[in-house]
Amino acid sequence: MENTAMLLHNGKIYLEKGRYAQAILIRDGLVAAVGTNEEILPQAGDAQVIDLGGKTVIPGLIDSHMHLYNVGRTLLAIQLYGSTSMQEVIDRSRAFIEKHQPAPGSIVVGRGWNHDYFTDEKRMPNRFDLDKVSTEHAIIITRTCGHMLSCNTKALELAGITAETAQIEGGEFEIGPDGQPNGIFKEHAMDLIQKLVKAPDFELSREIIKTAMAHASSHGITSVQTNDMYESNYQMVWNAYQSLVDEGIASVRVYQQCGFSTIEGYEQFMASGFRTGFGSAMNKIGPLKLLSDGSLGARTALMRNDYADEAGTKGIMCVSPEQLDAFMAASKKNNMQVAIHAIGDRAIEMVLDAYEKSMQHDGNPLRHAIVHCQITDLPLVERFAENQVAGLVQPIFLHYDMHIVEDRVGKELASTSYAFGTMDKLGIHNSYGTDAPVEDLKTMENLYCAVTRKDLSGFPAEGWLPGEAVDVETAVDHYTIDGAWNSFEEKVKGRLLPGYYADLAVLSDDIFTICPDQIKNVKVQMTVMNGKIVYQA
C-alpha cells in the first residue's frame, strides 16, 4: 500500500490515559511525531496537512473476535437483524426473493433473527413458518448468535434429513409433534443443513472480504482478529486475504483465528507451515480457535447446573475435556496460541482446566485466551488472573443479554457475570470485540455499553451491575492497545505514539467529555490505516 506523509493538527489526539496531543505527523505508515500544533506544524514538509477542527482522534480500533468473512457474506444475504416479529422475518425473506429472483431449487440464506425480540410469537421459526416464504427455494436463516438455524421443508428434502437421520454429537435437531424434523438445528447439527450452501470461490471470496473491510473501516476499525479460516477452507481463505494485501487494496489488518474440529486437520495445517505469527503486519496467523459450547440465547452455553428457565437443560458440550487436552498438547508442541469460545460457567471451567494442564504454571507466554467469558462466578474470574489468561469480551452483548441472563442462570450467578470491571481490578488482559455478524460492527455502541452498562434504549437508568462499568479511557484502551497485546503487537500498534502504526479514527464528538449516554450516537468521520485514508464520511 502506497504511503504518503500526513499531518493532522488542531485536534484532541488520545495518546494514553491522561495524555493528549493537538497534532500528529505520519510518515511511511508510522507515527513520526506527536505534540502541540506549534511543535508539529513546522515539521510538515511535503506532508498533506489536515485541520481537524477540534475533532477527537483515537487509535484505530481492534476487534478482538469476529468473523469478517461472514460479515461480508451477511451483507449479501437476507438481513433479519432487528426483526421484531415472526411475520417480519417472513416478510423480509419474501421481499429478498422478490428482489433477487433466485432460480427455483436454489439455496437462499439469511441471518440475524432473535426470537426473544418477537412481539407476536416468542418462539423460533420452524419449517412451517419458512414454507410461507417459499416451497420452491431452500430457505436457511441463522439466529443472530450463529449457534442455531431454521430451515424450510425444501431444505430438509435437499439435505435428506428425516426422522431416521441420526443426531450429531455436539449438536441437536428438533423433532416436531408430527415425529418429523421441524427445521430447527443447533450447534454441530447445523452442518447437516449448511452443507447445502455452496462455498464461495476465490474471486467471490475476495469481493466478500473487500465488502466487509469497507464496512469495518466505516466504523473506525483498522485491525480485526477474525475467525474465518477453517479446516475445510483455510488455504483458499488465506490466499484470498493475501491477494488483497499483495495488490495493496486491503484496508484492515488481519490476525487469523483458525478453527479446527479434528486433531488430524489441525496437525496438517501446522505441518504445511502455518503457525502463530506466520505472515505479515497485514495478514498474520493467530491462534487456534476452538468452540467449547454454544450461546446463552439458544440455551446451548454449557452450564454447571440446569438452566433456571429450562429444567433438565445444561447446554451443549461441543468439545470434550479429552479433546481439549489433545488440542492443547499439539498447540504446545508447535508454539501455537489458543483462543477458545466459552460462555457457560462449566465451559469456562473446562477450558481453564485444559490451559492449566498445558501451561503448568509457566506464565502463559503464548497468551492463550477465552472468548466471550460471559457466565462467571468470582473464583472463575480469579483463575483467569492466576493463570494470566486473557479475556476477549463483547460489551455490546449487554444490550440483549442483560434482559435474559437472570432468567437463564438465576439472580445469584447473573450478579457475577459479564464481570468486565472485576477483570480490570484483577489485572486481567481483556479486549473488546463484537463477534460480528452476531452484532454489527458498531464500535461506538460497543464502547457505550462498556461505559454505561445500559442497553441501547438507555435501560436501566443506573446501569446493569454498574460496578462492572469502566471509564472511557479504559474502554478505548481495551479496544486498542489490549487488542494489540493479543497479537503480540502492543509495541507497534494500539497507540498513537512515535514508531507505532499510523492507524487512527477521527470522531464526530469528544467521547472523553460528552455525556456517556451520547457515546452510542458518535460517528466515525475518517479512518486512517497504515498512514492512508481508507474511509471518509
Query: For 97-132, what is the HEC assignment?
Result: HHHHCCCCCCEEEEEEECHHHCCCCCCCCCHHHHHC
**Predicted local distance difference test score (pLDDT) of residue 1:** 42
C-alpha torsion angle, residues 15, 20, 21, 24 (rounded to 10)? 20
Q: Provide the CATH number for the domain formed by 71-194 in this structure.
A: 3.10.310.70
Q: Name the CATH code of domain 1-54+495-537 (choices 2.60.40.1120, 3.40.50.300, 2.30.40.10, 2.40.220.10).
A: 2.30.40.10
Q: Within its chain, how far is the Cα of 17 from the centroid?
A: 26
Q: How far is CA 386 from CA 381, 400, 420, in A?
A: 9, 30, 16
**What residue spans define the domains of the chain?**
1-54+495-537, 71-194, 292-433
Q: Tens of pLDDT along 208-245?
A: 999 999 999 999 999 999 999 999 999 999 999 999 99
Sign, Cα dihedral of 303, 307, 313, 316 = negative
Let me know: does 66 contact 202? Beta carbons within 8 Å. no
277: left (phi over 0), alpha (psi -120 to 50) or beta: left
Which residues of the chain are modeled with pLDDT < 50? 1
Cis check: omega of the bond before 287, within 30 degrees of 0? no
Let me know: does 341 contact 290? Beta carbons within 8 Å. yes
Cis check: omega of the bond before 125, within 30 degrees of 0? no
DSSP 361: T
In this structure, the number of other CB atoms found within 10 A of the CB of residue 384 comes to: 26
Let me know: does 101 contact 470? Beta carbons within 8 Å. no
DSSP 360: T
**DSSP code per residue over 411-448:** HHHHTTSS-HHHHHHTT--EEE--TTTTS---HHHHHH
Q: Tens of pLDDT along 306-357?
A: 999 999 999 999 999 999 999 999 999 999 999 999 999 999 999 999 999 9
Q: What angle do CA 207, 212, 215 make, to 5 degrees?
A: 130
Let me know: does 181 contact 163? Beta carbons within 8 Å. yes
**Predicted local distance difference test score (pLDDT) of residue 76:** 86
Domain 292-433 has CATH 3.20.20.70: no
Do the bridges between strand 524-529 and strand 138-143 make them parallel or antiparallel, or are there none, so unpaired?
Answer: unpaired
